[in-house]
Amino acid sequence: MIRLSDAARILGEGPAEARRMLASDAEAPPEALYYLTGDADPDLRRAVAANPATPEQSFAALAADEESEVRAALARRLSVLAPGLPAPQQDRLAQMAWSALTLLAADAAAEIRATIAEAVKELPAAPRDLVLTLAHDRDIRVCGPVLRLSPLLTEQDLLSLVAAPPMAETLAAIARRPEISETVSEALVASGDVAAIGALLGNRTAAIRESTLDALVVQAAEVTAWQEPLVRRPALPPRAAVALAAFVAERLLAPLAERTDLPAEAAAQV
């Protein structure tokens, strides 16, 4: 551990290279690292942002730094910390980290926002405001991971996003979520988005009403992209299987005929 007195001497009269070494030293006193967050050298501030010894009290200033490389370094550092953070209301230091993550989630640089999205996409302790900000992002690299995986998005959140998607890809990302309810599935189908409906049909855990599947089978005669995911659905009504057999591509007839969930009468017609 570097003594505070030695760090103070480097800060006061040390050469620039010594200050840079101090900024990146994991044994540096947190007080010295906090002081260096205000240094004029952006490379030095970037080193401070990446340093695991930098105290939580520095996060707010680093998250608002004018240099994107400094903010990106902090985003990478916080993405490592995020899985172990308790909910913000449970811990004061965690609240500082979550506040910085929330600020970075609205950063002008999409790469930084994407780093945060990847870090929090499956975390139940993340603040809902942070997750909702990411879910409404207009860059699929940012919103996609959260829309697909965040446990904090409620059914109402999803329905609101389907009704007014910030971007076209929002719908397909939601369609890939595990265990989608019938209500959300109905909303996705009602959107008429071909890509989203195809993703929904390919989602083996999505709950889809039989009547909805029947309607999609009829449309699949023209929307060929839906044929394979329909044929491979884990649960397919017998009448839907028979209807598909009348028009699917030849390569899909074998997997359709090999389904073990069809009654004998339907299987004979496939």
Span 31-67, pLDDT tens digits: 999 999 999 999 999 999 999 999 999 999 999 999 9
Span 112-146, pLDDT tens digits: 999 999 999 999 999 999 999 999 999 999 999 99
Span 183-194, pLDDT tens digits: 999 999 999 999
Using alpha carbons, select from 133, 132, 125 the residue that is nearest to residue 95. 125
Q: Higher model confidence: residue 197 or residue 237?
A: 197
How far is residue 101's CA from residue 84's CA, in Å, rounded to a whole number? 14
* pLDDT at res. 4: 65
Residues in the chain: 270
Q: Kindly tell me the burial class for residue 173, based on how many C-beta atoms sit within 10 Å of its own C-beta (0-12, 13-18, 19 or more).
A: buried
Contact 247, 221 (CB under 8 A): yes
- DSSP-derived letter for residue 239 is H
Whether the model clears a pTM of 0.75, i.e. scores above it, the answer is yes
Question: Which two three-digit tokens encode residue 53?
Answer: 């010894």
- pLDDT over 90, % of the chain: 74
How far is residue 25's CA from residue 47's CA, in Å, rounded to a whole number? 9
pLDDT at 6 over 70: no
How far is residue 29's CA from residue 55's CA, in Å, rounded to a whole number? 9
